């Protein structure tokens, strides 16, 4: 495979991973020990906020009144699309039963977790869409309690549009608390909240580390790092569109990798010339983030064939994968490692991020090689059950007794023995380990 880097990154998303574990562990330990009061101390320290923690109906109504009607309609449109897609996903979570052997029936049942904790970033950017993505999906899954948590701004509180979105999408409680303290509040059931069974939603490195540390005590959607995006483009791609899409994702943060993989040198060179100009034209904070991401993390990769392009993409396992090339069905069939796929110029990552219906909480840092993004399935427990007639249990008990003895697990074997003696008192069974050889 011939691969040429026209631009090679000096850093990766893991290069400058902050040593946050100790800090986060200390905060979580202090809050678990100190409860509500400790969480409020950290809120005052980090959020610079001392207002209402659990929003009342009046708080929600007042915040909603501040949201422009046009934005309300946009939020409702996005919510409807995400809800529709999630409802379709849920139909794939079927309860089943099968007669494994005559007289023994086994089944599968999908049960939603009781309480979902949805973290909604609100620092540098107010992630209205994250409220839609997380709360809507938990609601469709059937969670009884949905807690939405978002960092407030000093003297202001949570962005009103986030409050409106969380409320419209079905949040039962909205918590004005950010960072590790917000995650702790949902996990430990502070301020009268039900304890979360699962934590979902994006966040900064401290939020991500808190979720990682707490995993096991609670479920999480995934281990998350900086957002990343890859574009596969051939000679038919529009360089301006490709460049705009790369810049649009680079603005997420200084360490958000973007990659272009192509078999067309002229396209690559034109895109590389366009990107800095588009970055300069962004607002200041966005421009600074995108410039750093492009300088330190971006790569432009030349391949000889589309098969090499696809193999390169699969090796990167990007969070977002865009294809701007001929024969989209070939790419759909061939590509296997990505969080979400955007086929053709007519769609873009931003559509999925905001309003098209698929979820934007996706695996980063190569995790798409083994997992997908947030869906109703993340909120569901797929459990199994079985029942049997005595005749149906007979061959299973015989096999169980012999396998258990071969393993040295005599107690297991005797739970099978006792049933055979009870159900078939007139029969003799050879249940020794040697019979399994």
Residues carrying an active site annotation: 319-320
CA 247 to chain centre: 23
Instruction: State how far the Cα of 185 lies from the Cα of 195, in Å rounded to an integer.
Output: 8
Instruction: State how far the Cα of 374 lies from the Cα of 368, in Å rounded to an integer.
Output: 12
Q: Burial of 268 by CB count in 10 Å (0-12 exposed, 13-18 middle, 19+ buried)?
A: buried
Q: Which residues pair with 229 in a beta bridge?
A: 258, 320
Residue 192 is given by DSSP the state G
Q: Which of 88, 104, 101, 97 is closest to 383 using CA atoms?
A: 97
Residue in the block written with tokens 């709360």 = 135
Residue 181, marked binder: yes
Q: In what order do the strands lie in the sheet with 96-101?
A: 96-101, 104-112, 380-388
Instruction: State how far the Cα of 425 lies from the Cα of 421, in Å rounded to an integer.
Output: 5
Residue 386, marked binder: no
Residue 94, marked binder: no
Residue 167, marked binder: no
Residue 49, marked binder: no
Residues 6+ away with beta carbon under 8 Å from 303: 1, 2, 3, 4, 261, 262, 263, 309, 312
- Sequential DSSP letters for 220-264: ES----S--EEEEE-TTS-HHHHHHHHHHHHTT-TT--EEEEES-
Q: Beta 104-112 vs 96-101: how paired, if at all?
A: antiparallel
Distance (Å) of CA 35 to CA 30, 66, 185: 8, 33, 8
How many CB atoms within 10 Å of residue 51?
A: 15
Residue 324, marked binder: no
How many CB atoms within 10 Å of residue 28?
A: 20
Instruction: State how far the Cα of 421 lies from the Cα of 426, in Å rounded to an integer.
Output: 8
Q: Crossing angle for the helix pair 265-280 and 284-296, nearest 10 degrees?
A: 150
End-to-end CA distance of the chain: 49
SS3 label, residue 333: helix
Q: List, as residue ranges, the binding site for Zn(2+).
A: 249, 252, 353, 412
Q: List, as residue ranges, the binding site for NAD(+).
A: 119, 181, 204
């Amino acid at each position: 495979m011939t691969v040429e880097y026209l631009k090679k990154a000096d850093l990766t998303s893991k290069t400058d991973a902050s040593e946050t574990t100790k800090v986060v562990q200390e905060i979580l330990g202090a809050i678990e020990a100190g409860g509500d009061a400790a969480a409020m101390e950290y809120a005052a320290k980090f959020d610079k906020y001392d207002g209402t923690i659990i929003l009342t109906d009046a708080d929600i109504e007042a915040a909603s009144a501040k949201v422009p009607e046009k934005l309300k309609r946009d939020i409702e449109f996005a919510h409807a699309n995400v809800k529709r897609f999630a409802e379709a996903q849920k139909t794939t979570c079927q309860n089943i039963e099968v007669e494994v052997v005559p007289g023994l029936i086994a089944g599968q049942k999908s049960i939603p977790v009781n309480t979902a904790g949805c973290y909604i970033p609100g620092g540098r950017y107010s992630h209205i869409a994250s409220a839609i993505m997380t709360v809507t999906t938990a609601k469709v899954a059937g969670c009884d309690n949905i807690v939405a948590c978002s960092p407030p701004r000093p003297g202001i509180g949570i962005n009103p549009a986030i409050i409106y979105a969380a409320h419209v999408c079905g949040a039962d409680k909205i918590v004005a608390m950010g960072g590790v303290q917000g995650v702790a509040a949902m996990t430990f059931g502070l301020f009268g909240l039900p304890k979360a069974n699962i934590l979902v939603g994006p966040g900064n490195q401290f939020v991500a580390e808190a979720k990682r540390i707490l995993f096991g005590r609670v479920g999480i959607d995934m281990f998350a790092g900086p957002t990343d995006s890859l574009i596969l483009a051939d000679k038919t791609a529009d360089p301006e569109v490709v460049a705009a899409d790369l810049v649009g994702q680079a603005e997420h943060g200084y360490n958000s990798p973007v990659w272009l993989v192509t078999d067309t040198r002229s396209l690559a060179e034109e895109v590389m010339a366009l990107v800095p100009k588009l970055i300069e034209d962004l607002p200041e904070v966005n421009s600074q983030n995108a410039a750093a991401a492009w300088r330190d993390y971006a790569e432009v990769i030349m391949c000889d064939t589309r098969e090499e392009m696809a193999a390169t993409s699969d090796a990167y396992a990007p969070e977002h994968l865009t294809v701007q090339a001929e024969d989209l069905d070939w790419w759909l069939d061939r590509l296997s490692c990505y969080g979400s796929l955007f086929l053709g110029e007519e769609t873009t990552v931003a559509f999925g991020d905001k309003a098209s219906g698929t979820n934007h909480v996706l695996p980063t840092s190569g995790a798409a090689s083994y997992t997908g993004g947030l869906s109703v399935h993340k909120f569901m427990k797929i459990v199994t059950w079985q029942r049997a007639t005595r005749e149906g249990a007979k061959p299973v008990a015989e096999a169980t007794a012999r396998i258990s003895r071969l393993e040295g697990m005599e107690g297991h074997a005797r739970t099978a023995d006792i049933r055979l003696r009870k159900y078939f008192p007139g029969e003799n069974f050879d249940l020794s380990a040697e019979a399994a050889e």
